[in-house]
Amino acid sequence: MEVLYRSTRGNGSTVTASNAILKGLSEDGGLFVPDQIPALEVPMEQLAQMSYQEVAYEVMSRFLTDFTEEELKKCIQSAYDQKFDTDVIAPLVKADGAYYLELFHGSTIAFKDMALSILPYLLTTAAKKNGVTNDIVILTATSGDTGKAAMAGFADVPGTKIIVFYPKDGVSPIQEKQMVTQKGDNTYVVAIRGNFDDAQTGVKKIFNDSEMKAELADAGYQFSSANSINIGRLVPQIVYYVYAYANLYKTGQIQPGEEINVVVPTGNFGNILAAYYAKNMGLPIKKLICASNDNKVLFDFFTTGTYDRNREFILTTSPSMDILISSNLERLIYRIAGNDPEKNKVLMEELTKDGAYHITDEMKAQLADFYGNYATEEETAETIRKIYKDCGYVIDTHTSVAATVYGKYTKETGDTAKTVIASTASPYKFTRSVMEAIDEGKYASMGDFELIDQLSEISGVAVPNAIEEIRNAEVRHNTVAEVAEMPAVVKNILGIK
């Protein structure tokens, strides 16, 4: 059955999957959502025998229905290959009473690789299918991980350019070094004086600027997005929840049909929305546990029904979750508003105007699948230390936010259902915070790369390639700009007067 996509703020008109991927964001400022969530339909016995790539095909082909089998399989084979340091792509590690789904075995060692290693293939295939002759300019705002993963995916891909904006003081030293050393003649990195929300809002504004769109078209360019507002990011993220479940089934850790919980450290609400879509496809998921750091706007939302970004933006040790405007929540709001674009639009306009909105009790009642909580900085560090001491397993700060919230959830509810925790980054990406959590006195005075070697020693995990690569890499990008200058920076890069 064909799945079409419509905007969360639109008039009901639909586009094909490949068109939704090409556009990134709808012209009316809304996000594309599938007009139905397809059923998974493949028996678990079968999924359990499949490779990651095979599961990816089963899941993605149900959403991206205008891609041919040959096209989609080619995209999948090109994406999930030797770039990952393990054949299983997303291993499941049992530790401390939960299953850690390690989503950081790709080329930039964060979970963004799971979708961004395939997005360039989906996008260039979509361009070909739709007869696009313009070069595609990928505009990306990043809280640290998307930018690098998107550049790694798009570097030197013919017919594309990629421009990444990141908050100057809002990313980890390793994240920054990974970005500013990025190779490729079509990659551009710009630090902005502002936070992630400023970067994301700036990018959305450029997308909705019709004058700029026309200027770009004249110069032979069109924009698309590598942020999780692009449906081409979201669909590949559904795959690993199905794969994880199939893995638990295959290894006899769960019975047929047994419900599991999923815990996701959340920022822009993309990863957890993918888990929600997996549940709606029929995957037996009990609770979707949404974990926030001190920027706990989502916890407050799930508790009170009020989304309120009017608060201090806090820089934490889990910078990829330092976000107050969770873009993908709009897709959930649209759904619990009865797929009503008008109702959704009113709320999103209130968010833009007043920085807050309130949902009705009727809408709130539909959020029963979700549980929200948050972890403070101290709790996050304590959990890293405890799991290391008890199990010898080292997790990163973002994953620790999730593990901490899972602890709060079981304490509150007594729920003993098997639980998968999305492990979204390698501890090597946030080495300083991780090592100082383990033993501040011992590690605080050491340099970044000294800490990396120490981490390897205590964890027994070899230093990943992504880190070795940047040890002595040359800095290639050093542009810093004000938020207001973002459109000018883009024009300058593209040589538009």
Ligand X SMILES: *Cc1c(COP(=O)(O)O)cnc(C)c1O
Residues of this chain that bind ligand X (CB under 6 A): 110-112, 145, 228, 265-271, 320-321, 398, 424-425
Residue 334 Cβ, how far from ligand X at the closest point, in Å? 17
Q: How far apart are CA 98 and CA 89, in angstroms?
A: 19
User: CA 422, 117, 175, 388 torsion: positive or negative?
Assistant: positive
Residue 272 Cβ, how far from ligand X at the closest point, in Å? 6
Q: Of 125 and 225, which CB lies nearer to ligand X in the complex structure?
A: 225
Q: Of 101 and 127, which CB lies nearer to ligand X in the complex structure?
A: 101
Q: Of 125 and 293, which CB lies nearer to ligand X in the complex structure?
A: 293
Residue 179 Cβ, how far from ligand X at the closest point, in Å? 13
Q: Of 10 and 236, which CB lies nearer to ligand X in the complex structure?
A: 236
Q: How far apart, in Å, are the Cα atoms of 460 and each of 108, 420, 432, 465? A: 20, 23, 17, 15
Helices then strands, each counted (H, E), the chain: 22, 16
| 455 contacts 435 by C-beta, under 8 angstroms | yes
| 183 contacts 155 by C-beta, under 8 angstroms | yes
Could you tell me how far CA 451 lies from the centroid of its own chain?
Answer: 27
- Angle among Cα 292, 295, 298 to the nearest 5 degrees reads 55
By DSSP bridging, strand 356-358 and strand 14-15 are unpaired
Residue 119 Cβ, how far from ligand X at the closest point, in Å? 14
Q: Of 124 and 146, which CB lies nearer to ligand X in the complex structure?
A: 146
Q: Of 125 and 271, which CB lies nearer to ligand X in the complex structure?
A: 271
Residue 139 Cβ, how far from ligand X at the closest point, in Å? 17
Q: How far apart are CA 309 and CA 313, in angstroms?
A: 9
Residue type for position 311: R
Q: How far apart are CA 154 and CA 271, in angstroms?
A: 21
Residue 124 Cβ, how far from ligand X at the closest point, in Å? 23
Residue 218 Cβ, how far from ligand X at the closest point, in Å? 34
Q: How many CB atoms lie within 10 A of CB 89?
A: 26
Residue 90 Cβ, how far from ligand X at the closest point, in Å? 14
Q: Of 101 and 321, which CB lies nearer to ligand X in the complex structure?
A: 321
Q: Of 60 and 325, which CB lies nearer to ligand X in the complex structure?
A: 325
Residue 368 Cβ, how far from ligand X at the closest point, in Å? 20
Residue type for position 336: I
CB half-sphere exposure, 358, CA atoms < 13 A: 3
Burial (CB count within 10 angstroms: exposed 0-12, middle 13-18, buried 19+), residue 258: middle
| 407 contacts 381 by C-beta, under 8 angstroms | no
Q: Of 71 and 176, which CB lies nearer to ligand X in the complex structure?
A: 176
Q: What does 53-75 look like in DSSP terms, one character per residue?
A: HHHHHHHHHHH-TTS-HHHHHHH
User: CA 188, 193, 196, 197 torsion: positive or negative?
Assistant: negative
Residue 398 Cβ, how far from ligand X at the closest point, in Å? 4
Considering only CA atoms, which of 90, 91, 94, 96 is closest in space to residue 385?
A: 96
Q: Of 52 and 428, which CB lies nearer to ligand X in the complex structure?
A: 428
